[in-house]
Amino acid sequence: MRELQNWIGITMGAAILSFGINNFIIANELAEGGFFGISLLLYYLFELKFGYTFMILNIPLFYIGYRMFGRDFLVKTFVGVFLVSLFSLIIPGNIAPSVPEDKLLAALYGGVVNGIGLGLIFRFGATTGGSDIIARIVNFKWGYSIGRTLFAIDILVISIIAVIAGTKIAMYSLVALFIAAKVIDVVIEGVSTSRSAMIISDHTLQIAQVIQDELGRGTTLLRGRGGYTGQAKEVLYCVVSREEILRVQQIVHDADPNAFVIVSDVNDVLGEGFAPLNKHTPNGQKKKTP
């Protein structure tokens, strides 16, 4: 059942991504980064179908990826690339209204839709090949981070787009890329509804007791030592809902106005009071708490 859900999720993601490319990016003559951008450039310059060129460009990388990362990586990558190529050929580009007079709006819509599609593909264990494979190869061979390599490839492609299609198109395309990246994070990680607080104080036991009594949240005491003074310190760590974090700050202030508090967003909080601990990732393995 889990495997079936993964295939359904990947297929839906590929369909949504192809819809966004055809109806918002291509329909409004915008572009993308990476191999998506290269395929779009070939379409604009030579009228070569996006689905065909995207698949063909990835073929050499399939072999390299297989030799370096194995069969599982090849299967997941091939499925993602094949489905995106297929759906981009069969999904019409006139379903959504074209907005050539407002390319910024088209970039925003395209970024959101593409981000949802890519997020689903990544969330359910597939990739879209192209830049992803190159970034993994560079990381494997020379140790450069995947994120930086992807960013460098995107900047290179967008720069080429700026020369060929003009700076305005390149700038609108950057907007779409930025929005898509943010949406991908939301789809993969979810919208953060919890906050964590790390509290450094001389009254941690008192603060912990009030948090437990008033909010019903568990706390953890960690051993620490001041980097400057060398004195032993107790660090209080707790995770609460977004609505409760202000009350935590008030509790800390009332107990110790000189306390040091760090508040952070957290995702996938598992355990009592939050999501069930037996929550599974898409590939069937149990998620691990931070």
Domains and CATH numbers, the chain: 2-189 (no CATH), 194-266 (3.30.70.120)
Asked if residue 96 has pLDDT above 80, the reply is no
What's the pLDDT score for residue 228?
81
What's the pLDDT score for residue 12?
96
Q: How far is CA 98 from CA 50, 103, 167, 174, 228, in A?
A: 18, 9, 21, 19, 61
34-43, 77-86, 147-156, 160-169: least confident range = 147-156
What's the pLDDT score for residue 272?
66
**Mean pLDDT, residues 124-140:** 85
- According to DSSP, the β-strands at 219-225 and 194-201 are unpaired
- Residues 52 and 85: beta-carbon distance below 8 Å: yes
**Mean pLDDT, residues 13-29:** 94
How far apart (Å, rounded) are the C-alpha atoms in residues 175 and 32?
A: 10
Altogether, the residues listed in the chain come to a count of 290
Give the global pTM.
0.76
What's the pLDDT score for residue 289?
34
Token pair for 12: 């839906």
Compare 272 and 22 and report the one with higher pLDDT: 22
How far apart (Å, rounded) are the C-alpha atoms in residues 206 and 191?
A: 32
Asked if residue 281 has pLDDT above 70, the reply is no
Confidence of residue 8 (pLDDT cuts 50, 70, 90): very high
Model confidence over 102-125: pLDDT tens digits? 889 999 999 999 999 999 998 888
**Mean pLDDT, residues 261-282:** 70
List all residues 6 or more positions away from 190 whose beta carbon is below 8 Å from its beta carbon. Answer: 267, 268
Confidence of residue 286 (pLDDT cuts 50, 70, 90): very low
Compare 208 and 229 and report the one with higher pLDDT: 208
How far apart (Å, rounded) are the C-alpha atoms in residues 118 and 123?
A: 8
- Residues 190 and 123: beta-carbon distance below 8 Å: no
**Mean pLDDT, residues 238-255:** 93
Phi, psi (deg, nearest 5) at residue 88: -65, -25
Report the share of the chain in percent with pLDDT over 90: 52
What's the pLDDT score for residue 143?
82
How far apart (Å, rounded) are the C-alpha atoms in residues 187 and 176?
A: 16
Confidence of residue 235 (pLDDT cuts 50, 70, 90): very high
What's the pLDDT score for residue 274?
66
**Mean pLDDT, residues 72-76:** 84
Alpha carbon 35 to its chain centroid, in Å, reads 18
Asked if residue 141 has pLDDT above 90, the reply is no
